[in-house]
Structure 1
Amino acid sequence: MSSIFRRIVLLVMICLPIIALGQSGEHTTNGGGVAGRITSKTGEPLELVSVSLIQLNKSTLTDNDGRYQLQDIAPGKYTLRIQLLGAAEKDFQLEIVNGEVATLDYQLPKENIQALQEVRVLGTVNKFSKKESVYVSRLPLKNLENPQVYNIVPKELIQEQMALDLGSISKNVPGAGIPMLANQGRVTFRSRGFETEPNARNGVAGAAFSSIDPVNLERVEAIKGPSATLFGTNVSSSYGGLYNRVTKKPFNGFGGEVAYYGGSWNYNRLTVDVNTPVNKEKTMLFRLNGATTFEKSFQDMGFTKNISLAPGFSYQITDRLALLLDVEFGQAKGTSVVRFNPDARTARNVSIADMKFPYDKMFLGNDMPYTTQMLNIFAQMNYKISEHWTSQTIVSRARSSIDGYITALNGVRGDSTLRPNVMVGYTAFIATDIQQNFIGDFKIGQFRNRLVVGLDYYNNSNSFDRISVTGPTVNFVNLGRTNNVSRYKIDSLLPTGTPRRENNGDNSYAAYASDVFNVTDNLMAMLSLRVDHYRNEGVYNIGSGITTGQYNQTALSPKLGLVYELVKDRLSVFGSYMNGFFNRAGSDAAGNPFKPERGNQLEYGVKADVWQHKLVGTVSYYNIKIKDVLRTDPNDQNYSIQDGTQRSQGLEAELTANPVEGLNIVAGYAHNDSKYLKSDSTVLGLRPALSGPEDMVNFWVSYHLTKGPLKGLGFGFGGNAGSSSFQTNTQTVKITIPSYMMLDASIFYEQRKFRVGVKVDNLTSEKAWSVRLTPQAPARFVGSFALRF
């Protein structure tokens, strides 16, 4: 309890000066002033729009109601300029009179101007249907104009569901499945039959080989399909797509929230969110999000505790130049989750549910924890070159380290015994991503073009200093008195373990361009291309001093798309071709070097946004074909050949609806059919293991009272279901994971100054496993209380 108290005190001490800073911004008004409201073409307020008085070089930003105010202005005639990226600047002539505040409102003539910067359009009827993104295409492109499919989980849904980790947030993404936790807290999901990680942060590399606290998330974007053209393989490291974490940005105003969560297995969590302008003009803004969490496992052993701090700073330097800087820092200590790897050498067809593997046992102790530290730094500079062109410079630095004990449980030949595998030592990962984008929105004749041209440099550096050991055999069916392997036993085996002491790294140099060409007002064509040069610097063995495995590869990645809006801004049909690739090292028996492995996707579907955003949805069919896959050479087992192929095809559907006031519905369905077409004989024609269920469903329905004495009272109910899947699937061994249906329910009461809620996850205590055979927690109760200021 003392460590929890210390973390709470630390968060409070950090927030107190910020609160004082926000309150110190009050001042008296002299002279005159000007105030007004900026709205979109459809009348919705626009936040963070730059408003400047040219003669005085004095600026401010609109607040979350689209309002602005400039005070302490000497009487006289001035030019007021309204400007944001992606829209033409607008100048107004006005006269300031002493002691009076002039009013000047403005409604932008173009609807989709928010897509070049984080200008938030507020007031949408369906609070869960926010589909516009500055990151998916890097262009001012609406969802209905984009030939790529993506899902967005906004903070409003995250808050209503009391989703306290990335795994819980991903429940709202069609096809994500049960999240797979790695031993250091890192989480991965399924997407179109492939493992997909949350490697992107604000559209660029932001991987973390540790747990990622969602306290600073504005939303999560699941971008579907091979996406190497704009993101590269370092970010889009899956043919299924990528997950992009969009962080909360500072806003124009003082406010925030303090919340506490408590629940089953000694769950305790405290979060803070404080925002304040830094200067009187409100062009410098600061926001701090922080959280500290402690939780015991539902199993006989296991715990996690962490602290996360995420400051953000924005500065509208001039009416054309803006700076955004934000940081993620996280530190955690915990024990590895159970990962069970049954022995596949025994020919059998068995379900994990029938193996008598204990659901609530960890087999290792709390005295073998790991510690992680994560630091991600993101800086972005936007400069409006002209009415039609914008420069965007981004630098992202991500660092993660792991120290301590990382464990897995390996089955021994037979059906009843296992031996823990433990890695002890230190590992560090450092990645740097530098991007320069030039974004244009212009016409050639009568034809509109939206074009991004970019350069991308990515450096990755890893270091390992650890030893792997295999622990004693444990019978997990006939449990004895002592079931958990001790730290003393593992430490005594370290001198006989297998060391890994090495450094490795790589560099990627890329250039890309993507143009959306309006053939007509309703018909758009997208043409994109990336050239990527990869340099693997090899593996440096610290013991021998020898570096091996260096190689270079160059790859082209195209992307094509067509969109036709059947009803402008309401209904569109689309088709696209997208590409992904992975660099492969080595050569075949004849000495021919391998080329990059490739995945090509064809997709077509329908997108709708009707009844004033009350019904928003997407239905699509995709077909991904992977070629140049390495497989064992049938003529020489010591080599590989590069002629393997794989197919993944399926149907996805997503829907958010607000049919009546107070009622919100989120639902999704994903069907995936994956198969090895040409491969090693052991898996030929089979569904790949770890690809997840063929069919998955997700839904969430909530209703809150909007009138009467109980206004603000609400209820939520939802769930996730999946068909059976495979942990191992070969011609001789099939280890299946049973189908599941996990249901959640909540009740909440929300007012302007506070919010209380109670949530039950896995209401029926359904027994379910991830693809790595990690048992999922039974029913968990969590209560929360939040104060807003």
Structure 2
Amino acid sequence: MFRFAKDNRLLAGTLPVAIALAPCPALAEGAEGAESEEREESSGAITVTGVRQAYRGDFAISEIPQSIAEISAATLEQNGIQRLTDALDLNASVVRQNTLGGLWDAFAIRGFTGDENMPSGYLVNGFNGGRGFGGQRDAAGIERVEVLKGPAAALIGRGEPGGTINLVTKQAELGRTFGTASVQYGSFDRVRGEADVNLAVTGGLTARLIGYAEDGDTFREHVHQTRWGFLPSVGLALGPDTRLTYDFEKTRVEVPFDRGIVVLDGDFRTVPRSRFLGEPGDGDTVARATGHQLRLQHDFNDRWSLLVGGSIRHTLLTGFSSDAETAASRQSLYLDGRSLSRQRRSRYYDADHAVVRAELAGEFETGSLRHRVLIGADYDEFTYDQVFRRFRPPALSTGPTEQQGYVIDIHDPVYGRFPLPDVAVMTDRVDRQRAMGVYVQDQIEITDRLQVRVGGRYDRVRLETDNRLSGVDSRRTHSRFSPQAGIVYKLSDPLTVYAAYGQGFRANVGTDVSGTIFDPESSESMEAGLKLTLLGGALNGTLAAFQLTKSNVLATDPDAPGYSLAIGKARSRGVEFDLSGRLPGGVDLLVSYAYVDAEARSTMVDPNTSFQVRPGDPLVNIPRHNLNMQAARTFAIGDREAQIGAGMQYVGKRRGETGSTFTLPAHTLFRVFGKLDLIDNVELFGSVTNLFDAHWYANSYSPLWVQPGAPRTATIGLRAHF
């Protein structure tokens, strides 16, 4: 008998060089917390399929002193979502940040993000997977998106205090053969094909082949994109209690680098939202990723389980761009309102990331007390090789010509008017981070109603920077113990209260412009809330209040691209509410609201740039109010099944530039979606986003780098199942 817990696809991947521990016991989805199983009889043998949950242990969600939200593959499919960025919009605690011209994922959870010069980190099946430069993550191959909010750094380690995103990928399901294939056409002549085929090769060997390809224009002029990916998974039963899983990733994105539009004097209609202010002659920026995961799970018995595994991932981003000059002293647009001075940039960002992890999970009793423990260790090595080149227009005081300023008319652009400027090396360095961590967690069941969680994590991080341009090599080592504690009390069957406290530690990669490696970020998190289980478990919700503080927060140095400045301390506090499930009448409901007050808590002035942050300044791109709601209902048309749904997202106004009063306006977006079974195993599906064609703005770095959101966008497609 091969045992796995329900909703527990074994996290597996291949790693030629290392075997690492990945998460352990399963999290039951139901309110009762018991591990349920799905069994299939074949040739007299019983096979149980399931997925182990990262960092959670054998707990029901109601037993965890932490707010957790999940976005399922069905929800992604309903909404026609193809990007992780769009998926995260469904949870109000997560908001968009600057995405390097749309070429990486960047988000903040509960008001805090990481280094603006790096993509936001996230986990893939419990392994760090978001730190490289492989382009924005596609939703293909994602089983669910887990938003793990709250003070969990003592377990996960080296992350943001607001929370962590974990992507659970679609794994090979042993002993089954099934599949889906779809083709769709959307606005701006976008065509996409996608396939997911699970093949039972033998009784104990199964391969799941997932791939996608997409090509088409966008609402932005001269911005055509091509993307594809191959994401297979192979599962192998090595015995009744042991499974090996290998996941492979190969993706490529080709798209022009796009800084968005300019906003003069607060007028967001300065130029049309479709206006491209770069240079088509720069060609595409290309982001590539190749990754492997290997995970081995062994169940010693019904109480103890071990998961070991490893991950390696290589990413490379290359290309040129022409971007608006942000320094007022060099920007002719501020003189005549139409002549935009531009920089030209070249990027070569090459990153290698390797992780090995091990986690032992189990339970035992001491007298009348039940202990559920997690014991783990990990090693993480990240190497980032960057060569950044730039041309910059001269100061206006020198009276430059339009060609010297690399000017484009924002109201009547003529592309290719001037020869493309040569670029000179500004940054040429290698950053290496080697980190080792060990952790332990014990959740003690004191009574049938009361549980207490205690734990801690020790990290040791070695940072190295070799600056090939200046010849300066820097080295620093840091270590830190981060404690964690929580309490859960069940007031009644439908209502549980909890509270949690944790400290965190995250190394800041890179140096300031003088070559000094930054001190690491440290954080402190507090959270308390209520968990609701209604309608016999059909409807579940969490109401939480939180406060987070961080020290040694980094922000981009506006006069030194590729470098950062330490702005000191920041604080975020707020209230959030998540509710999901099924109402009487078969209506699926999703509600997510967050109030977040995130601000700087110290003063920082750089004498060379006059870049200034004051206590009380809001953090960039963080709205105080964020709300997402949607409802869907399945019904019959004759003997065919159909579904229709609608959703709404409200994002409040938020600061659009650090150290200034520039503000992005609030926006409200509506969407509709539906599907209809045409014949057996073939369905027609479609969606319309931004239904009322609102003008909205996804994020901003400055008034000259504002990313407009897409207008009304429709998609229609066919999907076949077998």
TM-score normalised by L of structure 1: 0.76
Partners of 1:410 and 1:438 lie apart in 2 by: 52
Identify the match of residue 361 of structure 1 among 253, 275, 297. 275
Deviations 1:55-112 (A, max 9, x none): xxxxxxxx996222225xxxxxxxx8x797xxxxxxxxxxxxxxxxxxxxxxxxxxxx
Number of paired residues? 649
Identify the match of residue 760 of structure 1 among 688, 713, 719. 688
1:510 maps to which residue? 437
> What residue identity is the alignment partner of 1:376?
G
Partners of 2:191 and 2:304 lie apart in 1 by: 49
Where do residues 38-49 of structure 1 align in structure 2 (5 Å cutoff)? none
1:329 maps to which residue? 250
Partners of 1:580 and 1:182 lie apart in 2 by: 27
SS of the residue 2:259 aligns to:
coil
Q: How many angstroms does 1:594 deviate by? A: 7.3
| Distance verdict in 2 for CA 1:389–1:608, change over 3 Å | same
Contact 2:602 2:613 in 1 (8 A): no
Partners of 1:643 and 1:501 lie apart in 2 by: 24
Partners of 1:65 and 1:257 lie apart in 2 by: 21
1:372 maps to which residue? 287
**Seq. identity, %:** 19
Where do residues 131-142 of structure 1 align in structure 2 (5 Å cutoff)? 134-135=53-54, 137-142=55-60
Where do residues 299-310 of structure 1 align in structure 2 (5 Å cutoff)? 299-310=220-231
Establish whether residue 531 from structure 1 lines up as the match of residue 458 from structure 2: yes
> What residue identity is the alignment partner of 1:337?
D
1:291 maps to which residue? 212
Identify the match of residue 278 of structure 1 among 201, 225, 230. 201
> What residue identity is the alignment partner of 2:433?
D
Establish whether residue 316 from structure 1 lines up as the match of residue 237 from structure 2: yes
Establish whether residue 70 from structure 1 lines up as the match of residue 1 from structure 2: no
| Distance verdict in 2 for CA 1:736–1:308, change over 3 Å | same
| Distance verdict in 2 for CA 1:703–1:524, change over 3 Å | same
Contact 1:434 1:457 in 2 (8 A): yes
| Distance verdict in 2 for CA 1:744–1:594, change over 3 Å | closer
1:393 maps to which residue? 308
User: Which has the higher mean CA deviation after the structures are superposed, 695-704 or 604-613?
Assistant: 604-613
Partners of 1:211 and 1:511 lie apart in 2 by: 31
Contact 2:672 2:691 in 1 (8 A): yes
Contact 1:301 1:364 in 2 (8 A): no
Deviations 1:107-148 (A, max 9, x none): xxxxxxxxxxx726xxxxxxxxxxxx712x331111100011
| Distance verdict in 2 for CA 1:716–1:341, change over 3 Å | same
1:402 maps to which residue? 317
Identify the match of residue 696 of structure 1 among 621, 626, 644. 626
Q: How many angstroms does 1:646 deviate by? A: 2.4
Contact 2:85 2:136 in 1 (8 A): no
Partners of 2:7 and 2:100 lie apart in 1 by: 42
Where do residues 646-661 of structure 1 align in structure 2 (5 Å cutoff)? 646-661=570-585
1:734 maps to which residue? 661
Contact 1:180 1:771 in 2 (8 A): yes
Partners of 1:119 and 1:780 lie apart in 2 by: 37
What runs of 5+ residues in structure 2 fail to find an aligned partner?
11-35, 115-119, 394-402, 557-563, 606-611, 701-705
1:347 maps to which residue? none
SS of the residue 1:167 aligns to:
helix
Deviations 1:340-387 (A, max 9, x none): 6879xxxxxx53526x14421112244321112101211111122344
| Distance verdict in 2 for CA 1:642–1:469, change over 3 Å | closer
What runs of 5+ residues in structure 1 fail to find an aligned partner?
1-35, 49-62, 72-79, 85-117, 121-132, 344-349, 633-639
| Distance verdict in 2 for CA 1:734–1:710, change over 3 Å | farther
| Distance verdict in 2 for CA 1:752–1:578, change over 3 Å | farther
> What residue identity is the alignment partner of 1:373?
R
SS of the residue 1:298 aligns to:
coil
2:483 maps to which residue? 558
Partners of 2:597 and 2:297 lie apart in 1 by: 43
Contact 1:181 1:337 in 2 (8 A): no
> What residue identity is the alignment partner of 2:671?
D
Where do residues 33-182 of structure 1 align in structure 2 (5 Å cutoff)? 66-71=39-44, 119=50, 134-135=53-54, 137-178=55-96, 180-182=98-100
Contact 1:549 1:585 in 2 (8 A): no
Q: How many angstroms does 1:722 deviate by? A: 1.3
| Distance verdict in 2 for CA 1:584–1:260, change over 3 Å | closer
Q: How many angstroms does 1:644 deviate by? A: 4.0
Q: How many angstroms does 1:221 deviate by? A: 1.0
Where do residues 405-420 of structure 1 align in structure 2 (5 Å cutoff)? 405-411=320-326, 413=328, 415=334, 416=337, 417-420=339-342
Identify the match of residue 296 of structure 2 among 364, 381, 402. 381
| Distance verdict in 2 for CA 1:176–1:476, change over 3 Å | farther
SS of the residue 2:693 aligns to:
coil
| Distance verdict in 2 for CA 1:199–1:745, change over 3 Å | same
Q: How many angstroms does 1:394 deviate by? A: 1.4
Q: How many angstroms does 1:539 deviate by? A: 2.0
2:653 maps to which residue? 724
Establish whether residue 204 from structure 1 lines up as the match of residue 127 from structure 2: yes
Partners of 2:65 and 2:364 lie apart in 1 by: 20
Partners of 1:529 and 1:37 lie apart in 2 by: 33
SS of the residue 2:583 aligns to:
coil
Deviations 1:484-515 (A, max 9, x none): 356x733x422xx2343322211001111111
Identify the match of residue 591 of structure 2 among 662, 667, 672. 667
RMSD, aligned CA = 3.2
2:446 maps to which residue? 519
Partners of 1:643 and 1:183 lie apart in 2 by: 24
Identify the match of residue 489 of structure 1 among 414, 419, 425. 419
Establish whether residue 783 from structure 1 lines up as the match of residue 716 from structure 2: yes
User: Which has the higher mean CA deviation after the structures are superposed, 748-757 or 308-317?
Assistant: 748-757
Identify the match of residue 411 of structure 2 among 472, 479, 497. 479
Q: How many angstroms does 1:583 deviate by? A: 3.0
Q: How many angstroms does 1:228 deviate by? A: 2.5
Partners of 1:683 and 1:377 lie apart in 2 by: 42
> What residue identity is the alignment partner of 2:254?
K
User: Which has the higher mean CA deviation after the structures are superposed, 436-445 or 578-587?
Assistant: 578-587
Partners of 1:373 and 1:586 lie apart in 2 by: 22
User: Which has the higher mean CA deviation after the structures are superposed, 328-337 or 623-632?
Assistant: 623-632
Contact 1:341 1:411 in 2 (8 A): no
Q: How many angstroms does 1:469 deviate by? A: 2.0
Contact 2:545 2:574 in 1 (8 A): yes
Deviations 1:184-213 (A, max 9, x none): 621222321123635210011112421222
| Distance verdict in 2 for CA 1:489–1:522, change over 3 Å | farther
Contact 2:501 2:527 in 1 (8 A): yes
Deviations 1:246-276 (A, max 9, x none): 1001123111011011011111000011111
| Distance verdict in 2 for CA 1:703–1:600, change over 3 Å | same
| Distance verdict in 2 for CA 1:38–1:752, change over 3 Å | farther
Partners of 2:638 and 2:633 lie apart in 1 by: 16
Contact 2:465 2:510 in 1 (8 A): no
Q: How many angstroms does 1:332 deviate by? A: 1.7
